Structure 1
Amino acid sequence: MPSIKGKVIGMSCISCANTIEKVLKSQGIIAKIDFTSATIYIDTDDQTKLQKAREKLNNLGYDILIQRSSEEFIKKERKNLILSWIISIPIFAEMILSILGIHLWSNITEKFLFLISSTIVIFFGRHIHKSGLGSLAILSPNIDSLISIGTIASLSTFPLSTILPIGNFSSEAAIIMNIFLLGNYIKNKSTISASIETEKLYSLIVNYANLIIDGKETKVNIENVKRGDIIIVKPGERIPLDGTIVKGNSYVDESSITGEPLPKSKSSGDTVLAGTMNIDGYLEIKVERENKDTVIRKILEYIEESENSKLQIQTITEKVVLYFVPSIFIISLIAFVLWLIQGNINKALIASISVLVIACPCALGLAVPLAIKVGFGILTTKGILVKDPETIEKVLKVDTVVFDKTGTLTLGKPKVKNTNLPHDIFILVAAVESKVNHPISSAITEFSKKLGIELSEVKVENVKNIPGKGIEGTANNTVIKILKSNKDSSNHNNTCSIVYVLENGKFVEKGFIEFEDEIKEKSKEVVEYLKKKGIEVFLLTGDNKSAAKKIANEVGIPEENVFYDMLPQEKAEIIKKLQNQGKKVMFVGDGINDAPSIKESFVGVAMSTGSDITSELGDVIIVGSRLESIVDLLEKSKMIHSKILQNLFYAFIYNIIAIP
């Protein structure tokens, strides 16, 4: 990741961004600019190099401001814009009076209006000239170059009109500059608004925590809080770090992270995330992740990675813009020469200046990235992270959605429903399962607590995972295997584990533990939505036939589209088989156990709330457990794609019509 992040001021089009990257590269600095948010990511920590680069950029009318507020820049730009338009009132008044047939022309009036025009063009447009002429000097012209040359040429007609038979267009130069400054302000405000959702995420980061030290509450910098520390969060405060509640209960608003609209009730043992709001209770929280590893930090890192990637059409438009500005200069020169040959110097000036100021490469440069920026911001508010813009195009082609069951269609929090194990055997099973981090293990441990079983006195050793099948361990010198029910088992309607005990060198079945898992509230509606859109829906699960078909029937997935008793690699083989049939498969799973299937699918969607949020996890990450986020993903992808096409159409049509 880049070591420095900052804001760039002075940019007016994508060519400006290319110029800045070119200048920085000449100083041995690799940088990436997100033009839509005026954000620069600089891969250097050499302050001497950076200072030299800034000096060179200053000469071209640009600057890099590390951690500068976007609002501060916009306020300054708005103030200059308002002042410029106020000063230009006499010019507008003179134009209106001329239209009404009232002419106030005199030498004094002309000189007064020229003085006002010069102030607007030269003083208020100074950054435009610095950028435009500076870029032209290093053979990287941009839209500022067009406006700078056009307004200077127009302003120059006043002194030239005293020695040549040409009209005075100096007032028009001021109007052109004012309109361009207004356009720049609107564009900058739009680009900042486009990244406002990401900025909101940054605002959720708390810089301090109330840490318990020697039994006393002490306010400390968040960087000094370590894993295992106990922090206090009072009502109305944001939770500073990810952790587990050890004391207290409250409602916590997680909407800013997961998109969940309603606050959740949280109590001792529940997990809470940094950036979420503690609404009404006193909480003591054991820190599970330090500042750099919190979910919100991982989300922001993910967003920055995704913003640095581009659609193929975006790369093409940027190349078009690269040649667009030089082409406009050539067209302007041709127009001037053609009219001059006909002996009409006034029309030659009007035609050439018009071509310079009417062209709009910004529209082409912004068409794609601005739509993506706004769209990604909307998705982020709903807890949806998209790996790159290409994923949006892939989502639109999806015709098949394959769901994992546990934690995807269901809550992923199974509970023990029934068991026929002898009490002494169940104690040993619970002791082994207490050493494993898995939903099934947690369910058994919780059930043992309800029965009042004390596990601390049971000696547990040699616990190991049997991939895709279960676990094995030794409790009080008794070797136990807890395995999921085999493929031939049809005695149980829910997830079921069979318990075996090693006796006389052989594993003997001792009984079963049956579990149940609730279906997520919106599972049925999501499946129904997909089917109405003509998208095929499948279910892949490691559970037995009865449990799989029971869930499928409840949510509306056809029985022939249900695959059960699947190991992780077998799930991936099914995905591969479906895609070999020409299907564009989106797989939705938990992102860890389902990693092979996510990687194999056309679009891999991982549901995650942990610190494992990385670009390798999937094409799309849903932060939280909202299954309806799949609907949001499909709908918003369609919206983003439509907006990109619309923006490109208007940008090309405007330039095609306006320039001739």
Structure 2
Amino acid sequence: MTDTALTFGLQGLHCASCVGRAEAALTALPGAQDVRVNLADHSARVSGVAAVDAARALDRAGYPAEVRQAELHIPAMSCASCVGRIEAAAQAVPGVLRAEARLPTKSLIVETLGDDTELRLALKSAGYPADAAQEQAEHSDETQIMFRKFVLAAVLTLPVFIIEMGGHIFPPLHHWVARTIGTTNSHLFQLIMTAIVLAGPGAAFFRRGVPNLLKARPDMDALVALGAGAAFGFSAFSVLAPGILPPAGVYFEAAAVIVTLILMGRWLEARAKGRTGDAVRRLLGLQPDTAERVRDGQIDTVPLSTIVAGDVLRVRPGGRVPVDGEVVNGHSHIDESMLTGEPVPVLKQPGDTVTGGTLTTTGTLLLRATHVGEDTVLARITSLTRDAQAARLPVEALVNRITAWFVPAVLSVAVIAFVAWWTLVGLAPAVVAAVSVLIIACPCAMGLATPMSVMVGTGRAAELGVLFHKGDALQRVQDARVVAFDKTGTLTIGKPQVHDIAVADEQEKAVVLRAAAGVESLSEHPIAQAIVAAAEKAPTDVSGFAAVLGAGASATVDGQAVVVGNMEMLEQSGISASKALSTQASAWADTGATIVHVGVDGHHVAAISVRDTIRAGAADAVAALKAQGRAVAMISGDTQAAARHVADQLQIDTVVAGVKPDQKVDALQDLRTAHGPVAYVGDGLNDAPALASADVGLAVNGATDAAIEAADVVLMSPEPGAVLRALHISAATLRNIWQNLGWAFVYNTALIPVAAGVLVPLGGPQLSPALAALAMALSSVFVVTNALRLRSKGGM
């Protein structure tokens, strides 16, 4: 609850009655004060309530609040600790409905009521000033910035490192410096050079870290600032005020090297992170900038942005289809691997649909644009991929809990190490131990472990035709113990085809089929079209066509009276049924096939079996799922006979048939009770409830908008094998995440006691601050590099 007034826009206000109802909805909220709804500018004002509660109340009343979504760039976001603090600061601002910080892109996605002025002020106060996402493009490339900082720091650090450490490694150098420059002048030179490093390339660590330290919110930058600052401060005091502290060495090289190596790590990290967005950039690059538009017989090359639905476009061999459309002339094999992950080109002919971004291989096409701009499949794929890349997996909750106490714990260890070494040995070793602990324990790698793998994994998945519509499905799909398929359009192609023909004595199948196709060529019924498609060529000499609803049709074909339909249709036409054909038809019907009888000149000459066709690879997909230890089920609204016939061929044991959409949900609950988490694979409007209620829903290629919206995962390939691809991608990405987390946590945690000097009394080593900085930087680089392995076949 908040006493700050919320002011925001409203939708659906049309009259004074609307105003009254909207005000009543807000007034009814506990604590609501100063409620005002303005019809003139369609706005509302209320104080004393949370923005989320106000938005929900208005939604229920039918006057939804205008929610603004913005993406803010947060340059100071550097580790997992930053993520939590940024989200907490944002969510504390009145009017903020949702705030999601994304470490890989250093961005904050927010949904607010009203503008984001207060949000920006709150973020600035918290030490994380924000830029608008569109301003981000005006900034210099992060990789180049980090590279320049690293190079400058390295140039300034090198002479300090050579003078100080070179003298230890090569004693004659130490004696030469003392004889020519002098020890005091050498220390003053190192002080000046190190000060430039800290105040120049390393200033950002202090600019961001010190305020957070003073606010008791230490982050990675705070640890670096503490470590480098302590090493520099101790050394500077020793040089500028000699005699006050006990005799000890100086550690300017440690402070300078710490900053230089961490800047190197940040540069390598930024360089690698830039490659994680390659998948989206490649998707965007698939769409050409121009298209050849055909208008009034003229062909002009025009910018893609000028294309509108209905335009006729030409695509030549080797060209990319500019927008989604329908082929009106020509034919070509089109490489749709960017869409489905399937490598074999698909033949496209007049009437077929094509997708923007796909590649023609042979032949020229004329197509009519049907979807352009943000409505294209490619635009939707890109949008889904971006959302999935920013997803939060359940496993990240564990990371957030760890990092919440990790930094304070490290500070405690550093203090303990400092006190112990100072008490037992001396001040100089104490400074070395404390600084080493502060540097080695930066939780940057832990914060990057999950989001980097998610970004690369979901990007690679998009290239393979698997879109994680809801990001956490990347983890949930792996938990599924049973995979339930819809039958029609999922395990089968969803289109009736002629499977068999039985003919009377002395009849030829091709001749009978041609006669039936002649009648059916004048019908638009799907079964009629299946018969026409099965015939090599339908006759054109057709007259006297007459259709009987729900029974069949008749016509004169090449001078013969032909009747095509069910048995009732034949009887009404005075044709006696053939016993042999009826027996065969009955056997087919028992498997769920649709039977079409054919009569010619008063004789029953054939029975045709029409049924849906099982998709290629369906049996292999089912077998592979079983081999993984998952149960496989089929849920269908089709008849028990039709469903059982398909299930038997695919060796699916659990079959639920003849169910309505809401009954599919009940069937999923039964499967969940028997086996555990359920994944449901479907494509139709009637599958939407089941897709939404499953633990994870997968919508296949060609799915309706309702099915895609309800699904967690969208499979761009219609083949059942795409389900296996989704499971494989999920497993590979989760494995990569656990590798990263294991490395980051074990590596950092294991080296903390080494940095603190626990092993020294036992004759073991102790990390110097410089080595600690290198180890920390390389830890983050390892995490990012390991995540990038998912881009390759070996990593995936």
- TM normalised by structure 2 equals 0.68
Aligned to 1:491: 588
- Per-residue CA deviations over 1:391-420 (Å, capped at 9, x if unaligned) read 344333333333333332333343345789
The residue type equivalent to 1:328 in the other structure is: V
Aligned to 1:33: 101
Asked whether the equivalents of residues 430 and 455 of structure 1 are also in contact (C-alpha less than 8 Å), the reply is no
The residue type equivalent to 1:491 in the other structure is: W
Distance across 2 between alignment mates of 1:599 and 1:158? 63
- Per-residue CA deviations over 1:265-299 (Å, capped at 9, x if unaligned) read 32222211122223343222112223222222222
Aligned to 1:130: 207
Distance 1:286 1:446, change over 3 A: farther
**Tell me, what secondary structure is at the counterpart of 2:218?**
coil
Distance across 2 between alignment mates of 1:518 and 1:310? 40
**Tell me, what secondary structure is at the counterpart of 1:124?**
coil
Of the three residues 134, 154, 168, the one matched with 1:85 is: 154
Distance across 1 between alignment mates of 2:107 and 2:516? 61
Aligned pairs (5 A) from 1:246-645? 246-340=328-422, 344-416=426-498, 433=524, 443=530, 450-451=537-538, 490-492=587-589, 496-497=593-594, 514-543=609-638, 548-555=643-650, 557-558=651-652, 560-564=653-657, 567-609=660-702, 612=705, 616-645=709-738
Identity %: 28
Of the three residues 734, 738, 746, the one matched with 1:653 is: 746
Distance 1:647 1:441, change over 3 A: farther
Of the three residues 220, 223, 227, the one matched with 1:146 is: 223
Distance 1:343 1:78, change over 3 A: closer
- How far apart are residue 330 of structure 1 and its match? 4.0
Asked whether the equivalents of residues 390 and 455 of structure 2 are also in contact (C-alpha less than 8 Å), the reply is no
Distance 1:489 1:303, change over 3 A: farther
Moved more, 53-62 or 17-26: 53-62
Distance 1:442 1:168, change over 3 A: farther
Distance across 1 between alignment mates of 2:528 and 2:160? 79
Distance across 2 between alignment mates of 1:442 and 1:211? 33
Of the three residues 144, 162, 187, the one matched with 1:75 is: 144
| 1:117 and 2:220 aligned | no
Distance 1:167 1:563, change over 3 A: same
- How far apart are residue 518 of structure 1 and its match? 4.3
Aligned pairs (5 A) from 1:220-259? 220-259=302-341
**Tell me, what secondary structure is at the counterpart of 1:538?**
strand
Distance 1:371 1:597, change over 3 A: same
Asked whether the equivalents of residues 565 and 596 of structure 2 are also in contact (C-alpha less than 8 Å), the reply is yes
- How far apart are residue 448 of structure 1 and its match? 9.6
Asked whether the equivalents of residues 234 and 281 of structure 1 are also in contact (C-alpha less than 8 Å), the reply is yes
Distance 1:207 1:452, change over 3 A: farther
Distance 1:313 1:574, change over 3 A: closer
Distance across 2 between alignment mates of 1:342 and 1:130? 34
The residue type equivalent to 1:100 in the other structure is: F
- Per-residue CA deviations over 1:92-144 (Å, capped at 9, x if unaligned) read 43324422333134333333333332232221112222222343455543201
Distance across 2 between alignment mates of 1:566 and 1:144? 59
User: How much is the aligned-residue C-alpha RMSD, in angstroms?
Assistant: 4.4
Aligned to 1:466: none
Moved more, 144-153 or 491-500: 491-500
- Length, aligned pairs only: 631
Distance 1:426 1:69, change over 3 A: farther
- How far apart are residue 41 of structure 1 and its match? 3.0
Distance across 2 between alignment mates of 1:156 and 1:553? 78
**Tell me, what secondary structure is at the counterpart of 1:245?**
strand
Distance across 2 between alignment mates of 1:656 and 1:588? 43
Of the three residues 148, 153, 170, the one matched with 1:100 is: 170
Q: Rg larger in 1 or in 2?
A: 2
- Per-residue CA deviations over 1:200-232 (Å, capped at 9, x if unaligned) read 223334454333333333444444433222222
Distance 1:242 1:498, change over 3 A: same
Distance 1:100 1:52, change over 3 A: same
- How far apart are residue 169 of structure 1 and its match? 0.9
- How far apart are residue 177 of structure 1 and its match? 0.8
- How far apart are residue 376 of structure 1 and its match? 2.0
Aligned to 2:41: none
Distance 1:418 1:135, change over 3 A: same
Asked whether the equivalents of residues 160 and 190 of structure 2 are also in contact (C-alpha less than 8 Å), the reply is yes
**Tell me, what secondary structure is at the counterpart of 1:244?**
strand
Distance across 1 between alignment mates of 2:608 and 2:695? 37
- How far apart are residue 628 of structure 1 and its match? 1.9
**Tell me, what secondary structure is at the counterpart of 2:493?**
coil
Distance across 2 between alignment mates of 1:617 and 1:315? 25
Moved more, 420-429 or 317-326: 420-429
Asked whether the equivalents of residues 390 and 451 of structure 2 are also in contact (C-alpha less than 8 Å), the reply is no
Aligned pairs (5 A) from 1:147-186? 147-162=224-239, 163=241, 164-165=244-245, 166-186=248-268
Distance across 2 between alignment mates of 1:658 and 1:293? 52
Asked whether the equivalents of residues 683 and 700 of structure 2 are also in contact (C-alpha less than 8 Å), the reply is yes
**Tell me, what secondary structure is at the counterpart of 2:147?**
helix
Distance across 1 between alignment mates of 2:429 and 2:483? 62
**Tell me, what secondary structure is at the counterpart of 1:531?**
helix
Task: Provide structure 2 residue ranges, at least 5 long, that are not aligned to the other structure.
Answer: 1-66, 504-511, 556-563, 568-584, 598-605, 754-796
Asked whether the equivalents of residues 61 and 131 of structure 1 are also in contact (C-alpha less than 8 Å), the reply is no
Distance 1:178 1:149, change over 3 A: same
Distance across 2 between alignment mates of 1:338 and 1:19? 32
Distance 1:611 1:152, change over 3 A: farther
The residue type equivalent to 1:451 in the other structure is: A
Moved more, 225-234 or 48-57: 48-57
| 1:198 and 2:288 aligned | no
- Per-residue CA deviations over 1:541-595 (Å, capped at 9, x if unaligned) read 455566545544544x15x544555554554444333333244433322243433
Distance across 1 between alignment mates of 2:690 and 2:669? 9
The residue type equivalent to 2:629 in the other structure is: G
The residue type equivalent to 1:590 in the other structure is: D
- How far apart are residue 8 of structure 1 and its match? 4.3
Moved more, 541-550 or 277-286: 541-550
Distance across 2 between alignment mates of 1:6 and 1:514? 61
Task: Provide structure 1 residue ranges, at least 5 long, that are not aligned to the other structure.
Answer: 464-470, 501-510
- How far apart are residue 74 of structure 1 and its match? 1.6
Distance across 1 between alignment mates of 2:169 and 2:466? 55
- Per-residue CA deviations over 1:60-80 (Å, capped at 9, x if unaligned) read 576555263999322332243
Of the three residues 45, 59, 75, the one matched with 1:9 is: 75
